[in-house]
Structure 1
Amino acid sequence: MSWAYARYQEPNANRLASGLFFRIQENEHPVQPPLTRSPDLALRDLSHDHFVIPEYRQTKQDRELYLPLLEVLVEVEAVGTIAWTTLTQTFTNRASSPVTEATYCFPLYDKSTVTSFSCCIGSEKVLKGVVKPKALAKAEFEAAVARQHVAALLEEHTPEVFETSIGNIPAQTSVKIEVCYITELKADLSGDGILLTIPTSVAPRYGTPPSSLATSTARKSLAVPPENGLQIRIQVSSPVAINRIESRTHPVTIEMGSHGHTTTKNIRDLAKARTSLEYDPTKARATLSDRTACLGKDFVLLIESRGGTLLASRAILESHPKLSNYSALMVSINLKDMYTPNVVSLKSPSEIIFLADRSGSMVDKIEALKTAMGFFLKSLPNNCSFNICSFGSNHALMWSESRPYNQASLDEAMSYINNFRADMGGTELLSGLRSVVEKADPVLSTQIITLTDGEVWNAAGIFEFIRDSKAARGKDSIRFFALGIGDAVSHHLIEGIGRNGGGLAEVVSVDSAGDWKSRVIRMLEAALTPSTWKVEINLGGFPKNEQEGLCIQAPNRIPDFHAFSRSSVYFLLSEEAKFESVNIIATATSGETITAELPVQILENTRNCVHLLAAKGVLNDFESGQSWFHGSVRSTETKSEAEIEDRMRVEAERIGIEWSLSSRWTSFVVVDNNASLEKASRWYQAERSELADLTRPRYGS
């Protein structure tokens, strides 16, 4: 992303901010004209200015101010490889007039699925969101604001950027926003654990303000009382004994064997039999130990089990909560369970091209980039050729074509990277990728390793180009890997490059306390592992008739697996699942075939996690244009792209509404039709159970 660094000398000022800002009308009894809002922002139209703190300005008619963030609470329940997260953000309107509309943006981790949205206005008013088609949700929100009713709206701009709007916030009133989401946790590339990541902009206003904004009048309302601040509480439950938990980024307190506890709500609870709280090796709890900590970087927690069995391949079946014979299946595949990857020097010559980000946003990461490049270059095999392409607003190759790896070429490359500067302007990653693919040797197997902070919007276009490039050259003749460098990278972009490119992705913090070098070398080992694998899943003879909706698979097109990959495939089944096992067939591009049989485990719970993840997986396929629906419509009917898109929208809206999920086509909206700012006495009194459910601490601090 091209940003003017002359204006913001502090790089952290350019992070995606969840700044909540609003406009106050000065009239004693504000007249509400019909509201007009700009259409949905296209990704190319979104810029840095949408996410930084708005500059303070004041006129006789209105003034723009910043709505102070008082507290951020993140509560996570990690069960196996799935995490349920509740994000609660508390703001306050300290003005003497109502706020007509307040809006703020915030990111969530890639592939997170928002399952509920609610807000508490003041101490009594609780509003719970309902999922509706995006246009309808926005229209209802705008109409409610015009009627001076309290309303709220949650929209998804990209898979990791969300926006919340709140209308008609009373004067001198606090607002508590609660967003609940579910995430499948990522495997740690450097070991046998999983990584739980909380993006940086959950609490972007903690810590020292950027120097360029220190004198702003609006900054005076950003002070956070030290007794409040940031809280992170994580309860971990593993199917096997937990070996280690640590944070690579923040100070945490770890309690191994801890069950956690919840607040007693009723005196009758004291009479209930106490559950044994003896030490349990499958339980643990982690708490952020510095509540005044600055989330200038992603919070990352590593969870490791004994023997690596937490990441074992498995098949989990979950019954539909309401419909008999309907179910959802999650098949998690770890190829290392089936064979031992052959990490050796490539038997045939190959080509490795490094694509290095030298845009302005890398100014505080350029030394880390140099270090990573040094690790890579000094570890290359002797029988490869290599090249380096720097990119920013434009791109430049070190050599016109790749050269054989030897001492002379290594010395020249080391001298080249030692002169790296973040002086190439914007982040035109797609242009850089096109350049290296065009320059790649058509005879050799090419591995492209991108090193970037991921600060670009056009992720979808990049993924499409990578898929097209693999299809044009042959799936194993070119692969794409990504190393995200920085404290708040775009995980959606980094993970997507590896997932779509048949390679792997990893993120390293600039000052990570973890073994930084080992993860870089692990990625190079992955690039030196020669084969990718095509995976097929057989459901014990269950018919995969997608046109009749009997079995819908997501992702519909299973991406190529790398030898070190661990990924999940979901199935929505509309007939009784009588199979007791699933068969995995993996075929390498070298011709090798391996098979495995996974017993089906029945999941007994009331949280519908497999259904929610499966439904979101189908919506992700819709967004990428690779769903079962696209193939079915195109193969059976001759329709225009506009007709296909319209029919897909209807189907996507149906899925989002059925499972209460935010998406590109659906949003959460909440409207209090029984309340008006001018008739506060009509506000309903929330039940105590509602308030307790919304504000309770999930785990003891």
Structure 2
Amino acid sequence: MVNCFGLVTDNKEPVPLKSIDAQLEVKDHVATLVSTLTYENKEDKPLEAVFVFPLPGDAAVCHFSAQIGETHIVAEVKEKQQAQEEYDDALSSGQQAFLLEESEQSPDIFSLKVGRLPPGESASIRLEYVTELAVQADDGLRFCLPAVLNPRYQPQGSEGPSVQVTSVPASLVPYSLSFSAQVSSPRPISKIESSCSLEPLQYLNADQTKATVKLGGGHKFDRDIELLIYYKDAHQPSAVVEAGQASAKPGSLMGDPVVMVSLYPEFPQSVMSSRAACGEFVFLMDLSGSMGCPMNNSTPQETRISSARDTLLLLLKSLPMGCYFNIYSFGSSFEHIFPKSVEYSEKTMKEALEKVEKMESNLGGTEILRPLNHIYSQACIPKHPRQLFVFTDGEVRNTKEVTDLVKNNADSHRCFSFGIGEGASSALINGMAKEGGGQAQFITGADRMQPKVMQSLRFAMQPAVNDISVSWDLPKGVSATVLSPPITAIFQGQRSLIYAQLTGPEADGSVTVKYSLAGHPSQNQLHFNLKPAEDSELTVHRLAARTVIRSMESEERTRRGHQDEEMKKKVVELSIQSGVSSCFTAFIAVNKDSGKAVQGPLVRRNVPTVDHLMDPLIKLFHFTGDGDLDSGRSARSAAEPPQPHKDPLLQLVSLQNASGSWMLHEALAAVLGKTKEEVEKVNNEVWASILALIWLHGFKMDAKEEWELLAMKAASWIKAQNENIHPSVF
């Protein structure tokens, strides 16, 4: 079942949200966002406004307050049921009240209730959260402020009410948005990019370690606000020690200093140059109706599913001989190309490609649990570690069930996840990769899917990292209690974060991460000073608290019996102590100083969120016989079969054999820009493959990330033929 979305009705009912002001502060790789939402009740009745919106899945909501006229109310964190009861009681007695709570199904969805606004009254809501910024494949740090709440698919039979949100076209959004960002780092800021129009970047000092940027004028709400921040020397390790809260109890997480250690392991090049020729590669592709939407507004002819087909072509051509693979597709149901993973060969590759070319976004909704359960039920292949690649636009509501399932099977595989298109759930995409020891990637705006996916394939083909351990070298009298879950995966060029609670005097210390890479013992060490930073805003403490809360929530869901309540109690205690949201708590604010009670019946209004995908979604969904809105077959599923690839690179790739070689025939000659007669004398398979490699290096260097692996496979095949070929060819 899909949450009900639709255009506003003809009578254009007024909505109370008037403006959103968002101010972002980035310090190195940690971001703090302060949003102010202004409401105004222009109706002649008291109003309850409900605004549902997404936040980053790992965000720690740490402040919520309201300004009504001259009255300022700061919300408190309380156990969720208690907060809900206080909110209902306040409304029943005519008091103004505000309730902010996290969805129980997905940690990146929040609902804000603004209760009993009197006629003609306005209110400003201030919301603050902190979050870590994920490192992208090109070393950029990604921040995303979603402008839409995409429909989240709720599987049949799942519990919990659907969130009701009205969506409107971007041109009719009744509220304004302003956004600015201030960035600071120990290293120079090289650039800040965005899919939205930005005003020119302004540096605030000579060494370019501080800068500010603002959203350009005329923002049309047609996309998320996504920032990519690039630093020079981005892979330097760092450690930040933050002093505890003076009012907190010593010995508690908030009372003691907390250190955040950021490590970027560098692996020996001799080891990294060897690519694994083994493994089981399982590709799980979302074919729900929404995958028929355009990848971006500038190239509407390229849909998510067409880009996914091209990506699968590159993946299949890049796999090493001797590995195993399979491809699953899912929607309301799921399918697989082979009953179980098969050995990679010319025959199995061609069979898979024939079915990939026929893939359409016609499998209905987005139920990912069933195919995942099926994949995990398949026995692993000895000496072929399983690598799972999941592609989805992230429109699901049972996020926690999915990430828990991945976590429970983490010992048997690594999971690489890809969020496709605007509004993909960061909690789902990041959660699957984190719990599965892999990597998460987001493909938005004008991004091409292929380079990011091939980057992850290179990670998956790296030698496995084993025996990971973290040790602390601290002076006498100083101890460190690690708050982060154990590190389960380390990739070349990827950041690992460790939070630890410290006790003892200020001094120098170090942390060492040891691991074994392809049988070679290695380690990375970072020295740091235990003196806390002077400008403490408890950012590190709140992120550490969020890390602990998420771990306990996950553990609570996997337990059964009397221990559930005990774990829930610990989550509630830490949430209240740290002021950080959880699935068991909520922020509640009641205006008890408003004088006389607000009279009159209470009118409820759902605040619409802009939906720039509404037009295509109308085409992708249909109403079932019982009146429910359901993901149906897209218009594309009834269209003509997909046309052959016209891109020369993809044409060349499609002609490559599983071994890595090319046969010279008319189709290859056409890609190379030659006639059949011009190359007839080159009837040797080796030289045909050499010509293909020369063409790639001569004409497609800008897309090297996409074809590098299959070119390496081709070069290895050529060398194995023992032909008398000049070494410069390679």
- TM-score of the superposed pair, with normalisation by structure 2: 0.71
- d(CA) in 2 for partners of 1:645, 1:348: 44
CA distance in 2, matches of 1:551, 1:649: 25
2:485 aligned with 1:565, yes or no?
no
Matched, 1:152 2:92: no
Segment of structure 1 superposing worse, 391-400 or 431-440: 431-440
Aligned counterpart, 2:228: 302
Match of 1:371 in 2: 310
Partner of 1:86: 34
Post-superposition Cα deviations, 1:486-536, rounded to whole Å, max 9, x if no partner, equal: 111011111111111121111112xx3346432221111111112134533
Give the equivalent residue in structure 1 for 2:323.
384
Instruction: Give the direction of change, closer, same or farther, for the CA distance of 1:641–1:415 in structure 2 (3 Å limit).
Output: closer
The alpha carbon displacement at 1:671 in A equals: 0.8
**Residues 557, 626 of structure 1: 8 Å contact kept:** no
Match of 1:633 in 2: none
Task: Choose which of 558, 575, 596 in structure 2 pairs with 1:656.
Answer: 575
Distance 1:577 1:611 in 2: 18
- Partner residue of 1:353 out of 260, 278, 282: 282
Does the alignment pair 1:181 with 2:129? yes
Shift of 1:339: 4.5
Instruction: Indicate conservation of the 8 Å contact 1:109/1:160, yes or no.
Output: yes
Give the one of 487, 507, 522 matched to 2:422: 487
* Segment drifting more, 140-149 vs 172-181: 172-181
Whether the 8 Å contact between 2:475 and 2:509 is mirrored in structure 1 is: no
C-alpha distance in 1 between matches for 2:150 and 2:561 = 40
Check whether the contact 1:581–1:597 (CA below 8 A) recurs between aligned residues: no
CA contact (8 A) 2:94 2:598 kept: no
Cα pair distance change 1:556/1:353, threshold 3 Å: closer
Check conservation: 1:150, 1:169, Cα contact below 8 A: yes
Name whichever of 352-361 and 526-535 sits farther off: 526-535
**Which aligned pairs between 1:76-115 and structure 2 lie closer than 5 A?**
76-99=24-47, 101-115=48-62
Distance 1:652 1:401 in 2: 41
Question: CA separation in 1, counterparts of 2:556 and 2:166?
Answer: 49
TM-aligned CA deviation for residue 389 of structure 1: 0.9
Separation (CA, whole Å) in 1 of partners of 2:332 and 2:586: 35
After superposition, the Cα gap between the structure-2 partners of 1:590 and 1:677, relative to the gap in structure 1 and judged at 3 Å, is farther
Query: Residues 100-120 of structure 1: CA distance to partner in whole angstroms, max 9, x if unpaired?
Result: x22221110121111111122
Q: Distance in 2 between matches of 1:458 and 1:679?
A: 38
Aligned partner of residue 448 in structure 1, secondary structure: strand
For the residue of structure 1 that corresponds to 2:409, the secondary structure is: helix
Alpha-carbon offset, residue 303 of structure 1: 1.0
Task: Measure the CA separation in 2 of the matches of 1:382 and 1:167.
Answer: 63
Structure 2 matches for 1:322-341, cutoff 5 A? Answer: 322=246, 326-336=256-266, 339-340=268-269
Find the aligned partners of 1:616 and 1:493 in 2 and give their Cα distance: 17
State the partner residue of 2:470.
Answer: 537
Distance 2:30 2:319 in 1: 36
Secondary structure of 1:624 counterpart: helix
When residues 538 and 604 of structure 1 are mapped into structure 2, their CA distance, relative to the original with a 3 A threshold, is farther
1:508 & 1:438 partners in 2: Cα distance?
30
Aligned match of 2:692:
none
Would you say the 8 A contact 1:540–1:579 is kept in 2? no
Equivalent AA in structure 2 for residue 372 of structure 1: T
AA in 2 matched with 1:369: A
Q: Which amino acid aligns with 1:90?
A: T
Q: In the alignment, which of 147, 162, 186 is matched to residue 239 of structure 1?
A: 186
Gaps of 5+ in 2: 152-164, 294-303, 600-730
Per the alignment, residue 687 of structure 1 pairs with none
Instruction: Pick one of 404, 407, 423 that aligns with 1:464.
Output: 404
Say which of 446, 454, 457 aligns to 1:513: 446
**Partners of 2:241 and 2:257 within 8 A in 1:** yes
Distance 2:277 2:170 in 1: 63
Shift of 1:374: 2.5
- 1:1-150 aligned within 5 A: 2-3=1-2, 48-49=3-4, 52=5, 67-99=15-47, 101-121=48-68, 123-150=69-96
Q: Determine the structure 2 residue equivalent to 1:405.
A: 344
The answer as to whether partners of 1:256 and 1:281 remain within 8 angstroms in 2 is no
1:229 and 1:291 in contact (8 A); partners too: no
Show the counterpart of 1:18: none
Superposition deviation, residue 411 in structure 1: 3.5
Asked if residue 284 in structure 1 is aligned to residue 219 in structure 2, the reply is: no
1:540 Cα deviation (Å)? Answer: 2.1
Mean alpha-carbon deviation: is it higher for 106-115 or for 403-412? 403-412
Per-residue displacement from partner, 1:404-444 (whole Å, max 9, x unpaired)? 43444444333322211111122121211222233465222
1:68-91 alpha-carbon deviations (Å, 9 max, x no partner): 432222210111111110112223
Rounded to whole Å, the distance in 2 between the matches of 1:354 and 1:293 is 36
Is 1:592 the counterpart of 2:520? The answer is yes
Unaligned segments of structure 1, at least 5 residues: 4-47, 59-63, 205-215, 260-277, 631-639, 681-701
The answer to which of 65-74 and 169-178 deviates more is 65-74
SS of the equivalent of 1:561 reads coil
Question: Alignment partner for residue 114 of structure 2, among 144, 147, 166?
Answer: 166
Q: Structure 2 counterpart of 1:513, which letter?
A: A
2:56–2:426 Cα contact (<8 Å) kept: yes
Deviation at 1:674, TM superposition (A): 1.7
SS at match of 1:201: coil
Change (3 A) 1:290 1:411: farther
Which of the pair has the greater relative contact order for Cα pairs under 8 Å at 6+ separation? 2
Shift of residue 305, structure 1, vs aligned partner: 1.3
2:540 match = 610
Distance 1:293 1:392 in 2: 31
**Structure 1 residues 626 and 567: alpha-carbon distance in aligned structure 2, compared to 1, 3 A threshold:** farther
| TM-score normalised over the length of structure 1 | 0.74
Radius of gyration: which is bigger? 2
CA contact (8 A) 2:95 2:597 kept: no
Alignment check: 8 A CA contact 1:341 1:529 kept:
no
Distance in 2, matches of 1:333 and 1:147, equals 54
1:666 aligns with 2:581: no
Deviation at 1:136, TM superposition (A): 1.8
In 2: Cα distance, 1:68 partner to 1:144 partner: 20
220, 238, 241: which is aligned to 1:293? Answer: 220
**1:525 aligned partner:** 458
1:543/1:292 Cα in 2 relative to 1: closer, same or farther (>3 Å)?
same
Distance in 1 (alpha carbons) for counterparts of 2:422 and 2:598: 47
234 and 140 in structure 1: CA distance in 2 versus 1, 3 angstrom threshold: same
Structure 2 counterpart of 1:582? 510
Count of residues paired in the alignment = 565
* Equivalent residues of 1:555, 1:570 under 8 A apart: yes
Taking a change above 3 Å as real, the CA distance of residues 626 and 165 of structure 1, as seen in their structure-2 partners, is closer
Cα separation, partners in 2 of 1:341 and 1:315, compared to 1, 3 Å: farther
How many angstroms apart in 2 are the aligned matches of 1:533 and 1:284? 40
Q: Does the 8 Å contact 1:385/1:402 carry over to 2?
A: yes
Task: Tell me which residue corresponds to 2:707.
Answer: none
Shift of the 104–445 alpha-carbon distance from structure 1 to 2, 3 Å rule, reads same
